[in-house]
Structure 1
Amino acid sequence: MSPDTKVSLTIEDIAFGGEGVARLNGFVVFVPFVLPDEVVEAEITEVKKKFARARLLRVLRASPDRVAPECRYFGDCGGCQYQHVGYAAQLRIKHKQITDLFQRIGGFAGSAIEPVVPCLQQYGYRNRIMVRSQWDKFKKGLNIGFIRHDNRLVLDIEECKIAGPALNEQINRVRAEPPAKGGLKVALRVAP
């Protein structure tokens, strides 16, 4: 197995942090933006001693829990990992992750972990975000937004679907009065 190799994978589980876990000839491969039991075509991007990472090319057999993401930046922005997952399935995945973690590290019985309490709002709930700016030499302007999913570059965004309306107004204020060059890193917070 080497980078740029295209493979067909069956996703077995979701790791803490949202990446899908598959095995190729016994070797673990992590793939973002997938769901358990999906069959996907992926391209290996990185090979380590004990695992590999791959980029999702296409879903060959989708999970019934897959939904269309609300955010146009999903998949590029590094802020969200689960927007392609229906909310009930998100709660099940997160409960399983916490249960597995407490069992493995703390030795707790699985029944000791209560179900995840659902949020009343699936979008617009976040009251704190970290906005960054970075000079984009190709467009000769600033990108103002969040760190991309696949590298350390800033993705230029106009709004964040999970941030509350007041935070999105603040993003626009930063965009209206940007710093001269990149390097801005500002935490925006709204009191609940």
Structure 2
Amino acid sequence: MLSIKKNDIREGKVIDLTHEGHGVVKVDRYPIFVPYALIDEEIQYKVIKVKKNFAIGKLLEVTTSSKQRVEPPCIYYSKCGGCQLQHMNYEAQLSMKKSQVINLFNRKGNFKETPIKDVIGMEDPWYYRNKSQLPVGRNKQDHIKLGFFRQRSHDIIDMEECLIQDSIQNKVMVAVKKWLDQLNVSVYNEQRKRGLLRHLIIRTGHYTNEMMIIFVINGYKFKQQDELISKLTNAFPQITSIKLNINQSHSNVIMGKESITLYGKQQINDLLSNVEFKISDQSFYQINTVQTEKLYRKAIEYAGLTGNETVLDTYCGIGTIGLYMAPKAKHVYGVEVVPEAIEDAKINATRNQYENTTFVCGKAEEIILKWKKEGIKPDVVMVDPPRKGCDEKFIETLLELAPEKIIYISCNPATQQRDAERLSSQYNLNEITPVDMFPHTTHVETVAQFIRQ
């Protein structure tokens, strides 16, 4: 008979962390997950949810504190859902993320011999996000609020600064909030499904300092837009593009498919190790530029390029990793299902004068078999799928293609581990290196090297 009941106040010692960074306390082998608690801490907690196999607790007091505990520098940390690990020192965060990957591959998976390298961290793990997506709302006094959603809700935490987004984006956020109030701009109301402005999106080029502002609205214009553009461009001369994105759907999707350029260029530029990229409003571009360069360098190291290899870049997006590899490869072929991304990839290849590249729009599993019939045989295949990982048809096609090496970058090690099992009939998982792309959050990116048996 389970002795744990909702609203129980209990004491215990934290023995482990979940992949979400929650402390684990056990009562007769029954686990209670307590957010903000750390390993080896003696804590007092309140049981707030009881399930068949686990319970959720709320931390009331830390009676014996861990050496890994630090005071979160962000004043919004306990409310905002953007970060989950600011109460943990950075070294401990990296250790936790490595343990997460070890648990998936060495302990639970069939890869007990695969070396898991130390996590590649940041020297200065703050103000790193080159893109901010900020929901807009109004408070009870009918003033504009701008920030991030409270954990597991759509209640906006009004904020003046986010410690993980680019510092210039914080200044833009504060200024726009003031001007939206002054100009009395119509704001979208999620419950009533009425009003105009839904999100403010800011993108910055880490090395170029170019900035794009995107207003996501429930319509095609708002009457104060010209005045707002004037204020923005006078205050922030680094703004090179201002766009209006039309999203009239009543869903949680942030951006609609149609955008209008209100000011300046259609794209902004940025660099990755001297490779120049054009980034449009809907382009996928890694959030953390500094860590992206480290991630791609590790991928090139795993690929072992000598200049004689044919590289296939699946899920290629705007061509970032393929173009990063182009100077060290014989030829790079890229495939992607999003037409706009392929157009950007072709433009980026031309801008960088890389003539040894071919980018095609379509499903990877269809295009690469077509290329195979044409006699194109890749030595290295780059795989960088979305969080859901690769679908089975793609894995089957990859096994049929049988390249010597597969370099698999993942933003979700759990689906990467599943795909590694599928590849294991023909490939040895040689090594994995985790990279901390999102400090102070629970996310970890991994790059894995597969060698054909």
With the length of structure 2 as denominator, give the TM-score of the two structures: 0.40
How far apart are 1:94 and its partner, in Å? 0.9
How far apart are 1:163 and its partner, in Å? 1.2
8 Å contact kept, 2:133–2:201: yes
8 Å contact kept, 1:102–1:108: yes
User: Partners in 1 of 2:171 and 2:30 — Cα distance?
Assistant: 46
Aligned partner of residue 56 in structure 1, secondary structure: strand
Aligned partner of residue 112 in structure 1, secondary structure: coil
Indicate the larger mover: 124-133 or 99-108.
Answer: 99-108
Query: Does residue 188 of the first structure (1) align with residue 202 of the second (2)?
Result: yes
How far apart are 1:136 and its partner, in Å? 3.3
Query: Does residue 24 of the first structure (1) align with residue 33 of the second (2)?
Result: no
2:436 corresponding residue in structure 1: none
8 Å contact kept, 1:123–1:161: yes
Indicate the larger mover: 182-191 or 109-118.
Answer: 182-191
Within 5 Å, give how 1:104-119 maps onto structure 2.
104=107, 106-109=109-112, 112-119=115-122
User: Partners in 2 of 1:134 and 1:55 — Cα distance?
Assistant: 29
Q: Which has the higher contact order (CA 8 A, sep 6+)?
A: 1
Query: Does residue 120 of the first structure (1) align with residue 123 of the second (2)?
Result: yes
Write the deviation string for residues 130-152 of structure 1: whole angstroms up to 9, x where unpaired: 21133333x44343211113644
User: Partners in 1 of 2:29 and 2:129 — Cα distance?
Assistant: 39
8 Å contact kept, 2:34–2:58: yes
Indicate the larger mover: 170-179 or 32-41.
Answer: 170-179
2:162 corresponding residue in structure 1: 160
Moved over 6 A (4+): none
2:143 corresponding residue in structure 1: 141
Say which of 75, 79, 82 aligns to 1:79.
82
2:339 corresponding residue in structure 1: none
2:45 corresponding residue in structure 1: 42
User: Partners in 2 of 1:147 and 1:87 — Cα distance?
Assistant: 24
User: How has the CA–CA distance of structure 1 residues 27 and 38 changed in structure 2, closer, same or farther, with 3 Å as cutoff?
Assistant: same
8 Å contact kept, 1:124–1:162: yes
Indicate the larger mover: 16-25 or 55-64.
Answer: 16-25
Say which of 62, 83, 93 aligns to 2:96.
93
8 Å contact kept, 1:99–1:110: no
8 Å contact kept, 2:18–2:24: yes
8 Å contact kept, 2:145–2:177: no
User: How has the CA–CA distance of structure 1 residues 21 and 132 changed in structure 2, closer, same or farther, with 3 Å as cutoff?
Assistant: same
How far apart are 1:110 and its partner, in Å? 6.3
Aligned partner of residue 171 in structure 1, secondary structure: helix
How far apart are 1:67 and its partner, in Å? 1.0
8 Å contact kept, 1:76–1:150: no
Report the residue type matching 2:160 in the other structure.
E
User: Partners in 1 of 2:113 and 2:73 — Cα distance?
Assistant: 33
8 Å contact kept, 1:11–1:38: yes
User: Partners in 2 of 1:129 and 1:70 — Cα distance?
Assistant: 20
| Structure 1: 5+ residue stretches without partners | none
Aligned partner of residue 48 in structure 2, secondary structure: strand
Report the residue type matching 1:109 in the other structure.
K
User: Partners in 2 of 1:110 and 1:55 — Cα distance?
Assistant: 38
User: Partners in 2 of 1:56 and 1:159 — Cα distance?
Assistant: 26
How far apart are 1:127 and its partner, in Å? 1.8
Write the deviation string for residues 81-132 of structure 1: whole angstroms up to 9, x where unpaired: 1111111111111110111122356422265111001112121112223211
Report the residue type matching 1:153 in the other structure.
D
More helix by share: 2
User: Partners in 2 of 1:185 and 1:98 — Cα distance?
Assistant: 34
Indicate the larger mover: 45-54 or 100-109.
Answer: 100-109
Report the residue type matching 2:15 in the other structure.
E
With the length of structure 1 as denominator, give the TM-score of the two structures: 0.88
| Structure 2: 5+ residue stretches without partners | 191-197, 207-453
Report the residue type matching 1:154 in the other structure.
I
Indicate the larger mover: 23-32 or 181-190.
Answer: 181-190
User: Partners in 1 of 2:115 and 2:89 — Cα distance?
Assistant: 25
